Amino acid sequence: QVQLQESGPGLVKPPQTLSLTCTVSGASIRTSGHYWTWIRQFPEKGLEWIGYIYHSGNTYYNPSLESRLTMSVDTSKNQFSLKLTSLTVADTAVYYCARVPNDIYHYMDVWGKGTTVTVS
Amino acid sequence: QSVLTQPPSVSAAPGQRVSISCSGRTSNIGNNYVSWYQQVSGRAPKLLIYKNSERPSGIPDRFSGSKSGTSATLGITGLQTGDEADYYCATWDSSLRSGVFGGGTKLTVL
């Protein structure tokens, strides 16, 4: 079955840059129509959509994060990645990667287990 | 402050039915599809409902979704203790150009 696995540092100092990678198994990241997304969950449980990327490299970013965010895809490794710059304690969250099987309907059908990132 | 508004908590007895509301605006729920997620403590969210009312394979028909205007509702019948979790609604906001979530509703099965 399709599985996603996040990887990256658990602790980052401000104002450093966060780099996370999501490895996809059981499916090709190049599947037509499938988008790949990052979502984060703050300690108080609120969820925030970070952005989408398509295997072509097309991206859609949350406008509130756009100035600090870069997403990329490596189809040879079946991975996609996130870079978030100028970190502050407000970026402390659990970061999830997920698959979006159809961007028109905007839903996430497969999620990674999440990785906790603490900015301190 | 979440873009979509959900009640912080709901509760009901085993076997009963519960509804969780999700309120938004024309730019989000009014013009886009809603999905619902279940998050058991310490786990990743799990898709329950997509396209307002569709259930992925493996999700029992005790779970249902509906949408009317700028609001959506998740219904759960035949409540079980295993249904205790946080539930989130989500959609796209055409004005914000961003995915948006509700603040989550904690379901307690008494």
**Chain B contact set for A6 (CB, 8 A):** none
| Beta strand residue intervals within A8-55, DSSP E | 11-12, 18-25, 35-41, 47-53
Distance CA A50, CA A41 (A): 10
Which residue among A37, A49, A60 places its CB closest to the CB of B100?
A49
Residue A10's identity, in one-letter code, is G
Distance CA A22, CA B51 (A): 26
Q: Tokens 């100028």 correspond to what residue?
A: A86
* CA distances in angstroms from B38 to A13, A115, B20, B106, listed in the order given: 32, 18, 12, 10
pLDDT at A11: 96
B12-65: per-residue pLDDT in tens? 999 999 999 999 999 999 999 999 999 999 899 999 999 999 999 999 999 999
pLDDT at A105: 83
**Chain B contact set for A35 (CB, 8 A):** none
Which residue among A37, A62, A106 places its CB closest to the CB of B32?
A106
The continuous run of DSSP H or E covering B8 comes out as: none
A39-89: per-residue pLDDT in tens? 999 998 899 999 999 999 999 999 999 999 999 999 999 999 999 999 999
